[in-house]
Structure 1
Amino acid sequence: MENYTRKFLVSVFILFLFFSILGIRIWYLQILKGDEFEKFSRNNRIRNIRIAPPRGRILDRNGKGIVINRSSFDLYVVPSDIKNLDTLLSFLSRLLLIDEQELKRRIYSSYDSQKFNQVLIARDITRDQLAILESRRDSFPWVFVEVSKIREYPYGKLGANFIGYVGKTTKSDLKEYRDLTGFDLIGKSGLEKSYQNYLQGSPGYLQKVTDAFGREIKSSVYKTDIRLKQSDPGSDLILTIDLDLQLAVEKILSEYTGAVVVMNVHNGEILSMVSSPSYDPSIFVKGVESGDWKKLISDKNYPLMNRVTRGLYPPGSVYKIVTGAAALEERAIDTNTRFYCPGHYRLGNKIFRCWKSSGHGWVNIHKAIVESCDVFFYEVSQIIGIEKLYKYSKLMGYGAATGIDIAEKYGISPNKSWKKKRLNKPWYKGDTVNVAIGQGYLSVTPLQVAVMTSSIANGGYKITPHFVKEVISSKGQQLYKYKNNKKRIEIGDEYISVISGAMVGVVNQQNGTAKRARLENIEVAGKTGTAQVVALDSIKIKNKKYEHHAWFTSFAPANSPEIAVTVLVEHGGKGGAVASPIAKRVLESYFKLDSQYSLQ
């Protein structure tokens, strides 16, 4: 009985203590702090803030920043709170130098009240603009500024054509990426687009308590800053690009309209890729003005186009590598097979001319490549025919995707069925003659030529060109690492050796067409090309836009290849005179930097 009474008294005491504490808390909140809470509930409001994640950086192979982030002051408004729209529009128009109608469109066209109650009006305002806003805070409590991270390009235009640019999300973007809003920046081209899922990160969410004037409140009584979820920064891309080499190649090509690609012949790593002219990707960060956009897309030099992956050109004589390899592998010729070149070739009633009007005399496969004799390949084309030529063209990567991790064009590797389907015309023997020397219906990208060159340099393997070595999360975890992907092509080692030996002669023999690509202590192998743009016409050829495209593709060192260098100069003239000296300068830059690489 005593034990029961003791338990009862303890229970009563605990209940008394609980209600006492509760009463004291109610007294504190309602009596002592009641006025403060009443004022808070009457005058203050909750602002829902979405915290955009910093986008992942883009770094070179040695960890140097090519694309990084910096802080940005971003101006928002709360449309539901606006009291005097005309006054606000007038003020912001003068402050930001933006048309009032455009401001009105920004305020209401992208407002999504179901998600957040703020709308982004201007990104990256200046400190002077920020100071003016702060001075007018009482007049416009529905205007506020948040700090975010935006893209910064320490080297300006460097790599813009493969890095790409970012821009505002579209309706289709929002359907695909559910975490995004209409205020976010998303990859629109290049690596920024291809690796969007890695670079974007995930947003955080925050609730802030503000007063009637939009000022954040700090109180010891109630919590005014509630972080619902921390943002997770995007992951970093570690590229195969070497920044120092890229800087050197960009400078070398700056005087020309064209393309250069430097690639590891064993694993497809892109060490440098330059398309000239280029553009400044920073103009897209704040939102490109319509005038600037029209200027870019109407520019006849096509700065937005990556000529390496999306420029389509007749390959000219660099394609003789394919024709020669096909003829050898099909046993249509051997190293002793010779044809006589008088400077022209007759097929029926049509005359096909060699670039050397006086002719090359008796020519075998080695001499035909070294001196780039057209007639030899005219003869070969009629032995193997277009279907065999088409087979090896495909094997060496033409008319198909290379697999690179940015957008590319496939070009055209034609045959009988292609012509019938595309043009509804029969295939003629003369068509085969043209294709054999890289003319006619053929169109290729400089990257495809570099892939073909690498397959000769590495002993007969087709490799996949790529930019990204690995992806590292903000927490330091490796999310992706490239795995070498190469495939043996059906050309015998002995025939690969014949072609590569002839390419050595192109640069190093006295009668070779690329003597200007020679290096003093390193043997270079290569092939020139001069691609006809229009039928030879003495009137048209005086116009620069009708001048031939200049090609040179190469690998080095010839006895132990490391890299392929492919150069295209639009309307540059002869490949040996224009493109091969550019390749020489690129090769010199690479081998000066060679100690920094670990390419195998």
Structure 2
Amino acid sequence: MYSNKRTISIAIVFMLFFLVFVKFFYLQVIQYETFKDRAINKVVRVLPIEAPRGNILDRSSLNIVVNSKVYDLQVVPYDVNNHFNYKLLNYYVPFDTSEIKEKIKFLNKNTISRKFKPLSIKNKIDQDVIFKIEEQRNHFPGLVVREVFIRDYFYDSNMHMAHILGATKIERYSSENPIFDKIYLNPSRGSGGLERFYNNLLSGINGKEYRLFDAMGMDRGLYMDGIYSQKKPISGANLNLTIDIHLQTYIYDLIKDVVGTVICSNPKNGELLAYVNSPTIDIKKILKGISQSELDSLNSLNGPFLNRAINVYEPGSVIKLPVAIMLLELGVDPYKTYNCDGAYEFKSENQRPKKCWKEGGHGDVNLIDAIVESCNIYFYHSVIDNYNRFYRKKWYSWMDTLGFGKLTGIDLLYEKKAVLSHDMSKSKMLNMVIGQEMRVTPLQVIQMINIIANDGFMFSPHINKDYNSDVRKISLNKKKLNLIKSSMKDAVYLDWGTAKRARLKNSDVMVMGKTGTAQQSGGKSPHAWYAGYMEYKEKKDMVSIVVMLENGGKGGELATDIARKIFNKIIELNTLNGYY
């Protein structure tokens, strides 16, 4: 009896094991495909989709910067086999085949997960090369081609607008699972241009998509069952600039062989129509990759990375304009004369005479003459006679009022602040009153010119056309301000005016100007300045210009010649395209 019960128990256990085995066989063999699909459809993961950056356009809606594609070339070590044609791939894309082979061999032999992670061969490959590789794809098992967005530039803006736009760079983020690798196009951290300043505007809103993954992390496509909704990316907004790309390119071609900067502006609203630095850099080449030898060659130039328009320089006689405004507003008689015989002699024998730029002197000069002929002696007398009364107490506040000594507020990063002293000695003031031993930026100078041209209204200089510029009214006596304008006109149209080379033959346009020659130490040539504006007599439309050439000689020569050519180009463009 006991033996029968034992036999029955063993039979029951055996039958249970047999049934489990049959079920296991059924699930793992017969129903393999069905349950395999169910297994891989278990995991839903969200992946970010980068929003394309917005385009950058000039004032006439011409594209300056757009998005373009390049490609990263990678291989998955696990999928590479003996049929991979390294020689053929190296023909299309030069790379170190021995190094890649060794890496693939090591990863396949010594790692578990890393053998499934793409290994970089070459980045930023042009599309035409990728097309040729794709035609031979069967020769490259395990090859992965990844699409990458970069910035593309029209009208050579990657050169002449490099300091305005700023560089971008591709940032790659790797994860253990390659499907989660991210590639972003972001402004370079050290860049002070518009790409970084308006990054939030240009970047847009990233999207997301839900995808199915198996346990090995293999992508099984989009999840479309409706539980999760896909979110498309929203492209970044376009950035419309105040820059006239045709004027910009013209000016760059005009000054690319000298060292300096040119700024053009609309005095009535602070818009910058052109903003050119020379020498410059090629931000497209830097984005796609630059060799050490190319970088060394670039660094051998005279500061190509320097944004000269917002850098500090001695202004030379250009500073006589705000000094003259101060003197007039404080009640100085503009017709009082001082005699200029070429040098100012001090009473003390221990003090060396201070010279005028014109050795023979200008004779008797008043304030208006001193601006027209840029006479230093007049301003030396002015300091000696009025140091305690005006200069010592009023200089700083008036320079500050007219925009010097503080930032202009331009929509670029890293603008230099030219520091002014509050309390200067008389000896130092004798140098500062003619633009020596002090610093300003070319952008501050054009802002001051705009104040004169626009009857005391000050707008923040800006490059974004949709920028709401701050405006401030400086209380200036209109009659006295007109004396300044008249002096600047005479500097151009009188034969003895220092800015006479800016004179135009066009009778519909009036040009005002002031030159500056800032002496430099060490036997170097002086910095050359031209600052002024042109005005259409009937329409009253205006464009201001500042030209600053490092070690460019006298302000009344090359710098003024450049200004004249730019004025003529502006007239030509206005005739074709309408007024700014």
TM-score (norm 2): 0.78
Q: Secondary structure at the match of 1:313?
A: coil
Does 2:569 correspond to 1:589?
yes
Match of 1:493 in 2: 478
2-side partners of 1:563 and 1:62: how far apart? 17
Indicate how the Cα distance of structure 1 residues 324 and 78 shifts in structure 2: closer, same or farther if over 3 A, else same: farther
Match of 2:426 in 1: 429
Does 2:438 correspond to 1:438?
no
Indicate how the Cα distance of structure 1 residues 183 and 374 shifts in structure 2: closer, same or farther if over 3 A, else same: same
Amino acid in the other structure paired with 2:250: A
2-side partners of 1:404 and 1:416: how far apart? 25
Q: Secondary structure at the match of 1:431?
A: helix
Match of 1:13 in 2: none
Match of 2:267 in 1: 265
Q: Secondary structure at the match of 1:568?
A: strand
Q: Give 2:496's match in structure 1, choosing from 508, 511, 514.
A: 511
Contact 1:393 1:413 in 2 (8 A): no
Indicate how the Cα distance of structure 1 residues 53 and 284 shifts in structure 2: closer, same or farther if over 3 A, else same: farther
Match of 1:26 in 2: none
Indicate how the Cα distance of structure 1 residues 128 and 83 shifts in structure 2: closer, same or farther if over 3 A, else same: closer
Q: Secondary structure at the match of 2:339?
A: strand
**Distance apart, 1:428 and its partner CA:** 3.0
Indicate how the Cα distance of structure 1 residues 354 and 306 shifts in structure 2: closer, same or farther if over 3 A, else same: same
Contact 1:316 1:531 in 2 (8 A): yes
Q: Secondary structure at the match of 1:255?
A: coil
Indicate how the Cα distance of structure 1 residues 60 and 488 shifts in structure 2: closer, same or farther if over 3 A, else same: same
**Distance apart, 1:288 and its partner CA:** 4.3
2-side partners of 1:313 and 1:508: how far apart? 28
Q: Secondary structure at the match of 1:304?
A: coil
State the identity as a percent.
32
Match of 1:393 in 2: 399
**Distance apart, 1:203 and its partner CA:** 2.6
Does 2:554 correspond to 1:574?
yes
Indicate how the Cα distance of structure 1 residues 307 and 390 shifts in structure 2: closer, same or farther if over 3 A, else same: same
Q: Give 2:533's match in structure 1, choosing from 546, 555, 560.
A: 555
Amino acid in the other structure paired with 1:459: D
What does 1:210-249 correspond to in 2, within 5 Å? 228-249=230-251
Does 2:321 correspond to 1:334?
no
Q: Secondary structure at the match of 1:228?
A: coil
Q: Deviations over 1:143-200 (max 9, x none)?
A: 52233432111222231221111024599xxxxxxx9956433253311111011111
**Distance apart, 1:227 and its partner CA:** 7.8
What does 1:407-556 correspond to in 2, within 5 Å? 407-416=413-422, 427-440=424-437, 442-470=438-466, 482-520=467-505, 521=507, 522-534=509-521, 540=523, 546-556=524-534
**Larger-Rg structure:** 2
Q: Deviations over 1:364-386 (max 9, x none)?
A: 11100000000101111231324
Amino acid in the other structure paired with 1:334: D
Aligned residues: 517
1-side partners of 2:181 and 2:369: how far apart? 60
**Distance apart, 1:590 and its partner CA:** 0.5
Match of 1:476 in 2: none
Tell me, which stretches of 5 or more residues in structure 1 are unaligned? 1-28, 172-178, 418-426, 471-481, 541-545
Q: Deviations over 1:360-405 (max 9, x none)?
A: 1111111000000001011112313244222211111112111110
Contact 2:461 2:469 in 1 (8 A): no
Contact 1:43 1:212 in 2 (8 A): no
Does 2:344 correspond to 1:345?
yes
Indicate how the Cα distance of structure 1 residues 498 and 280 shifts in structure 2: closer, same or farther if over 3 A, else same: same
Indicate how the Cα distance of structure 1 residues 456 and 429 shifts in structure 2: closer, same or farther if over 3 A, else same: same
Contact 1:395 1:490 in 2 (8 A): no
Q: Secondary structure at the match of 1:334?
A: coil
Q: Secondary structure at the match of 1:533?
A: coil
Amino acid in the other structure paired with 1:67: V
TM-score (norm 1): 0.76
1-side partners of 2:281 and 2:99: how far apart? 26
Of residues 31-40 and 484-493 in structure 1, the stretch that sits farther from structure 2 once superposed is: 31-40
2-side partners of 1:33 and 1:212: how far apart? 19
Match of 1:281 in 2: 283
Q: Deviations over 1:327-386 (max 9, x none)?
A: 11122x212211111111134423111001111111111100000000101111231324
What does 1:173-252 correspond to in 2, within 5 Å? 183-187=184-188, 188-206=191-209, 228-252=230-254
**Distance apart, 1:490 and its partner CA:** 3.8
**Distance apart, 1:293 and its partner CA:** 4.1
2-side partners of 1:381 and 1:69: how far apart? 57
Match of 1:421 in 2: none
1-side partners of 2:80 and 2:301: how far apart? 48
Q: Secondary structure at the match of 1:397?
A: coil
Q: Deviations over 1:216-260 (max 9, x none)?
A: 8789x998xx98331221110011111222122222222322111
Indicate how the Cα distance of structure 1 residues 181 and 503 shifts in structure 2: closer, same or farther if over 3 A, else same: farther
Indicate how the Cα distance of structure 1 residues 132 and 455 shifts in structure 2: closer, same or farther if over 3 A, else same: same
